[in-house]
Amino acid sequence: MSDDKYWLELSIETDGELAEAISEALFPLVEGGVALEQRNRRLDDQATADRWEDEPADGPIIVRAYLPVDEALEARRQRVEQALACLNLIRPVPTPAYRIVAQSDWADAWKAGFQPLRIGRCILITPSWLRAPDYDPERDLLITLDPGMAFGTGLHPTTQLCAAALEDYVEAGMRVLDVGSGSGILSILAAKLGASEVVGVDTDPEAVRAGQENAARNAVSDRVRIIHGAHDAATGHYDLIVANILAGVIAQMLAEGLGARGARFIFSGILDSQREQVTRAAEQAGLYVREVRTSNDWVCLIFERKKEL
């Protein structure tokens, strides 16, 4: 008998505004969070913004979520469909598509599109199963990844926005918190940029495992600690907090006090239509906008804490 793990994939194609509402409805009900992809009308049907092509995406948003195929699957699926039915009372929600995927098949499918990628001035991300092309240790900051089913390969625009921002804002000796650490890519990058202590937190056990393995793979386990839980699982104050997750989740964390725990913040996973929602939540938490970066419909917001007079 195969030990392969199977998942029920749910996907809904919609516009950006409804995609956010669907994501917030599904987020508490699925393992590993919710992924947003954006189709590209000029490429084939499989090309999305989280693949490696440089062609900008300009099509509809696809919301994807995964439920483990086990004895609790039907109960989970019913809760998901009830949440979508409630949302449908406010605005029509497209019928979700479902399919069963084997974890090994899923991994093989996306690995075909995960190629070495350069970000920012010197970041080079490469899959663990490929040799980095033209790698120059004097020039390149190399990150080697095998994310498994965890989010964060560097291929999605929001991950690239966060990575480039970290390149500009991480300073030697900093203490950094990575909320929703996924594959660990941003935690690893912060350490390689000079942070002396990095804590990554994720609510998905698979992401915690992948993040820990990737930290070891990149020889930064002495400075990077990946733990299971939400933002409050990490204690203390941080020089820099980065979160590449849903806009609604960022706003909720700010309301729960995240803004008081850092000096500077890098937030992404945000559609342009959600910019004001996050900005309002940040301002209410005592932060101000230092910089705004964009990539197609995605936004990265950099905030700083207002100094006490």
Instruction: Tokens for 34, please give them.
Output: 């919710």
Nearest partner of 242 among 147, 308, 161, 155, judged by Cα? 161
> Looking at residue 173, what is its pLDDT?
97
Residue type, 31: E
What pLDDT is stored for residue 271 in this prediction?
A: 87
Domain with CATH 3.40.50.150 in the chain: 156-305
156-305 domain in CATH 2.60.40.3080?
A: no
Q: How far apart are CA 267 and CA 251, in angstroms?
A: 10
pLDDT tens-place string over residues 140-163: 999 999 877 667 677 788 899 999
- Residue 305: per-residue pLDDT: 93
CATH of domain 6-110: 3.30.70.120
pLDDT digits (tens, 9 = 90+) for 226-276: 999 999 999 999 999 999 988 989 999 999 999 999 999 999 989 888 999
pLDDT at position 63: 87
pTM of the model: 0.79
- For the chain, residues with pLDDT lower than 50 are 1, 42-56, 309
Question: How far, in Å, CA of 28 to CA of 225, rounded?
Answer: 24
Q: Where in the chain is the domain with CATH 3.30.70.120?
A: 6-110
**Contact in structure between 187 and 208 (CB atoms under 8 Å):** no
